[in-house]
A and B are shown apart, each in its own frame.
Chain A
């Protein structure tokens, strides 16, 4: 994550600059949000780093193409995440008929290989996006309520409510998975 925290008030002016073609502004947005967007994509593509690389590239290409028309009705990050989610679904759709291979040990990302980690990401992928996103921002990106609200363009009360429901839903999914195993 870049030095500037996600969801900071500088997003709006950066997006304006990117719309106007100011050099470096879009790169700053990418650097600020790439890690957070990537981690969300990882959840949606079942932890496949190669797929996440492809989807992230497609996502940012679409964001780049659409930023001039971005109207700011939501936060920039929320908009990018929505595109990433759609791109992930498209990727899953395209690859649905391919046999699921057992992932090879990933030497570049050894920390991502634990069975529990995979199970947690699987559980997160089962949550609706509007609940999973704030939960991941809170626990993976260490964002405060205010920062999440700004990044997603939502009132703090809404974020608070979604976080509460996300925790409940995660617990339900997790308990269900534990009872099945």
Chain B
């Protein structure tokens, strides 16, 4: 998010009072069916009267679950709520026909809401699956990039060592060290993707992990070859293993930004 906008919204956070006064007003510290205060007593009396005639309608209203998806439905539910409240206030004059009418309208709305909920759930599941598939695709493209570039650099380094007449046994050992380092890098990158959307936590030590892997491989190579300068090949920071040209494709822009953001946290 644009930092300025986020900061603006954060700074506009209103203060909230303690809930103590509210709880006192609700009149109960346990299950809150009972309430206190003149208004609540009047309301309870109205509800009791209503229960004799239109209890079913009053009972159905709270079942309008809050996860209803359509604003128009909600407005209609709000209208019905107002209507039922109106009926509550004049319960003595309510006719069975009025009750039946409200029940029928509520039943029809409930049917619509259930259908909408099912559709919204299906759409939500689709997006979750699509996100997972995209993440998998981005990971695979990222790893392909790392494998390709790392293999090229590794073979170049081994060719250079061979040209320096390093004994065959040491060359084999150097290849083993470099191949293992490549696998470790891949595992670290996979671990990052596996933690997916949780961008607030985790990966705080990504930089240290890359540096630690590089140091381990450099030490091993130094022992085999007697040379210490391996920094150009064994990148020590996450940025060294971030795709570059591949991510110029706009479709991978999010992936690149995610990778750079999370991996650059220290």
Binding site for B on A (CB under 8 A): 18, 21-27, 30-31, 34-36, 38-39, 42-43, 47, 53, 56-57, 60-62, 64-66, 69-71, 73-74, 78-83, 86, 89-90, 109, 111-112, 114, 116-118, 120-121, 124, 128, 135-136, 139-140, 144-146, 153-158, 160-161, 167, 170-171, 174
Contact = CB atoms under 8 A, between A and B. Distances in A.
B59 A156 contact: no
7 contacts: A21-B31, A56-B22, A64-B26, A64-B33, A65-B62, A86-B81, A145-B199
Interface of B: 1-2, 5-6, 8-17, 19, 22-23, 25-26, 28-33, 35, 40, 59, 61-63, 65-68, 71, 74, 77-78, 81-82, 117, 124-125, 127-128, 130-131, 197-201
A136 to B, nearest CB: 8
Given A145-B199, A167-B1, A80 B66 contact: yes
Nearest to B74: A86
Contact of B2 (A25, A60, A114, A167): A167
B15 A109 contact: yes
Contacts of B125: 155
Nearest to B254: A164
B131 A140 contact: no
A136 B78 CA distance: 24
Interface centre among A24, A42, A73, A145 (most CB of B within 10 A): A73
Contacts, number: 169
Nearest to A130: B69
A24 B200 contact: no
Contacts of B33: 21, 64-65
Given A120-B8, A167-B2, A82 B68 contact: yes
B17 A69 contact: no
Given A120-B8, A144-B200, A156-B128, A79 B67 contact: yes
A167 B22 contact: no
A38 B12 contact: no
Contacts of B35: 61, 64
A23 B29 contact: yes
Contact of B5 (A26, A64, A66, A174): A174
A156 B31 contact: no
Contact of A18 (B16, B31, B61, B81): B31
B19 A30 contact: yes
A144 B198 contact: yes
Contact of A153 (B29, B59, B67, B200): B67
Contacts of B6: 139
Contact of A30 (B2, B8, B23, B61): B23
6 nearest interchain CB pairs?
Answer: A74-B67, A66-B62, A79-B66, A82-B66, A64-B32, A120-B12
B128 A140 contact: no
Contacts of A144: 198, 200-201
B124 A26 contact: no
Contacts of B30: 21-27
Contact of A70 (B65, B81, B124): B65
A117 B9 CA distance: 8
Nearest to A64: B32
